[in-house]
């Protein structure tokens, strides 16, 4: 393939690529709020139409929730070519708090920073509309120059990733044979730094549980009942405090079963990346590392499991003051898993830990949120070298082979249900404000992201 002509096409048509991205960014496809159902549907149809314009057999498939876009090559290709499945999502996070945005979150704009660099600012600019459009625009450029893609590509774009993908498992079960390919591509990860590309080699698993501790049959006057009446906030706080010891280790029995130590060679490689507590914590206003004692920052984020409290509430939390003893207290807890940790066993061990600490005259209820094991890409997979070589050529720097602290549950399904490994190449940066006000995507990430995917596809 004429890669030079393809890259020139990308450069010459960057303004048109931005126009298409902006059109998608203007659609407020917030999946967690039913008020935006019509907008989610509009985003799905926009992507379907855009892929159809490229010659794909593209359709919007209905689910019990938000629709899914599925697109296939229009023509059959030789069986000796590897078949690729690209996954992304068109839904975005809510914009709250709105007053912290500099402008309308769904009025995308380009901002020039003091150093002269340009950024795209809008909800979804990075997660995941900007990222998925890097791949679509790469295919557009290849088709314009070559008239065909080098390998058959199936595209799967869902609309509920930001709300836990509740409809995806059933859809996946129905369409497994349609989705079966030789490899999957995901562009929902990040770079090591603004000039250094990265390929994600591992993902942590995820388990979430919501706890409700109940004591009295109604909220109580704290002057009348304070002392004799059990306070569920106290009960829950004590349970949460007991979940870690003084060294930062999780105290749930069996929590570390299946967690292997990182090989010394790998730790040395991570150390060579130069990550420090100051670099990692400084931008978020912190300076002192927490977590497990004796573990480096990258080891904690990439190779160690965690238990985090994502939310706690109980009693009166509104303006002013109200002296009550609440009837209930709540918390949302999540675990990030590594290695061979078993999500189901961990959930049961955690619930047993909590139950043992609930007083006899109180009760506890649980609600599950998410369940998926960790995943590691084999380091001898041939497509890793294809991706690394392509990224090295585009960015002029050696690609960092990194771990990911987050989770992408569908990548596990690709591996264990379809037998596909996933090439995870993304162009997000730590300062992109993903899920926060003023989300942005560097112009260089968008532009060179398109060029990067073009090189990857051409290399196949």
Distance in angstroms (rounded) separating the CA atoms of residues 124 and 29 = 9
pLDDT (mean) for 355-366: 97
Q: Which pLDDT score is estimated for 409? A: 81
240-254 confidence digits (pLDDT tens): 999 999 999 999 999
Looking at every residue in the chain, the average pLDDT score rounds to 95
410-441 confidence digits (pLDDT tens): 898 899 899 999 999 999 999 999 999 999 99
Distance in angstroms (rounded) separating the CA atoms of residues 3 and 6 = 5
Q: Torsion-angle region of residue 385: left (phi > 0), alpha (psi -120 to 50) or beta?
A: alpha
pLDDT (mean) for 227-248: 98
Mapping DSSP onto H, E and C, the string for the chain reads: CCHHHHHHHHHHCHHHHHHHHHHHHCCCCECCCHHHHHHHHHHHHHHHHHHHHCCCEEEEECCCCCCEEEEECCCCCCCCCCCEEEEEECCECCCCCHHHCCCCCCCCEEEECCCCCEEEECCCCCCCHHHHHHHHHHHHHHHHHHCCCCCCEEEEEECCHHHCCCCHHHHHHHHHHHHCCCEEEECCCECCECCECEEEEEECEEEEEEEEEECCCCCEEHHHHECCECCHHHHHHHHHHCCECCCCCECCCCCCCCCCCCCHHHHHHHHCCCCCHHHHHHHHCCCCCCCCCCCCHHHHHHHCCEEEEEEEEECCCCCCCCCEECCEEEEEEEEEECCCCCHHHHHHHHHHHHHCCCCCCCEEEEEEEEEECCEECCCCCHHHHHHHHHHHHHHCCCCEEEEECCCCHHHHHHHHHHCCCEEEECCECCCCCCCCCCCEEEHHHHHHHHHHHHHHHHHC
| Domains defined for the chain, CATH in brackets | 3-203+375-459 (3.40.630.10), 205-259+305-372 (3.30.70.360)
Q: Which pLDDT score is estimated for 76? A: 61
Distance in angstroms (rounded) separating the CA atoms of residues 1 and 392 = 18
pLDDT (mean) for 256-284: 93
Strand partners, 155: 71, 86
71-116 confidence digits (pLDDT tens): 999 876 666 788 999 999 999 999 999 999 999 999 999 999 999 9
In this structure, the strands spanning 375-376 and 220-221 are unpaired
C-beta atoms surrounding 246 within 10 Å: 6
Using an 8 Å Cβ cutoff, are 388 and 283 in contact?
no
Using an 8 Å Cβ cutoff, are 212 and 365 in contact?
yes
Q: Is the pLDDT of residue 399 over 90?
A: yes
157-201 confidence digits (pLDDT tens): 999 999 888 999 999 999 999 999 999 999 999 999 999 999 999
Q: Is the pLDDT of residue 152 over 90?
A: yes
| Residues in contact with 297: Cβ distance below 8 Å, sequence separation at least 6, in sequence order | 275, 276, 277, 280, 289
What percent of the chain stands above pLDDT 70? Answer: 99
Using an 8 Å Cβ cutoff, are 354 and 252 in contact?
no
Whole-structure pTM value:
0.86
């Amino acid at each position: 393939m004429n890669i030079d002509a393809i890259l020139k096409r990308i450069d010459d048509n960057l303004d048109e690529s931005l126009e298409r991205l902006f059109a998608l960014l203007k659609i407020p496809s917030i999946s967690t709020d039913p008020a935006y159902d019509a907008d989610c549907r509009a985003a799905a149809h926009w992507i379907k139409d855009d892929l159809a314009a490229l010659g794909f057999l593209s359709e919007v498939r209905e689910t019990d929730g938000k629709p899914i876009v599925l697109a296939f090559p229009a023509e059959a290709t030789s069986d000796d070519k590897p078949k690729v499945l690209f996954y992304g999502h068109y839904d975005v996070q809510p914009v709250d708090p709105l007053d912290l945005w500099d402008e309308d979150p769904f009025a995308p704009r380009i901002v020039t920073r003091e150093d002269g660099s340009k950024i795209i600012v809008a909800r979804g600019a990075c997660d995941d509309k900007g990222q998925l459009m890097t791949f679509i625009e790469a295919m557009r450029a290849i088709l314009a120059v070559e008239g065909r893609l080098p390998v058959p590509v199936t595209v799967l774009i869902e609309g509920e990733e930001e709300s836990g993908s509740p409809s995806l498992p059933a859809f996946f079960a129905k369409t497994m044979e349609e989705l079966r390919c030789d490899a999957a591509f995901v562009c929902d990860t990040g770079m090591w730094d603004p000039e250094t590309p990265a390929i994600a080699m591992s993902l942590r698993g995820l388990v979430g549980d919501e706890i409700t501790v109940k004591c009295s049959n109604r909220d109580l006057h704290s002057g009348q009942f304070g002392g004799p009446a059990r306070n569920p906030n106290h009960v829950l706080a004590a349970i949460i405090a007991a979940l870690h010891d003084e060294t930062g280790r999780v105290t749930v029995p069996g929590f570390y079963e299946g967690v292997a130590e990182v090989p010394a060679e790998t730790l040395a490689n991570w150390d060579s990346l130069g990550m420090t507590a100051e670099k990692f914590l400084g931008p978020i206003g912190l300076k002192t590392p927490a977590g497990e004692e004796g573990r480096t920052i990258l080891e904690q984020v990439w190779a160690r499991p965690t238990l985090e409290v994502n939310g706690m509430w109980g009693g009166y939390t509104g303006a002013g003051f109200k002296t009550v003893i609440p009837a209930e207290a709540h918390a949302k807890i999540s675990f990030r898993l590594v290695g061979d940790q078993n999500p189901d066993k961990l959930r049961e061990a955690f619930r047993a830990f909590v139950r043992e600490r609930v007083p006899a005259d109180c009760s506890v209820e649980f609600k599950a949120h998410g369940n998926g094991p960790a995943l590691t890409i084999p380091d001898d997979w041939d497509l890793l070298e294809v991706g690394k070589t392509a990224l090295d050529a585009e960015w002029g720097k050696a690609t960092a082979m990194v771990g990911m602290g987050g989770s992408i549950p569908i990548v596990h399904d690709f591996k264990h249900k379809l037998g596909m490994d996933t090439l995870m190449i993304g162009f997000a940066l730590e300062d992109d404000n993903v899920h926060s006000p003023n989300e942005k995507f560097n112009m260089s990430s968008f532009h060179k992201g398109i060029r990067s995917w073009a090189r990857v596809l051409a290399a196949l």
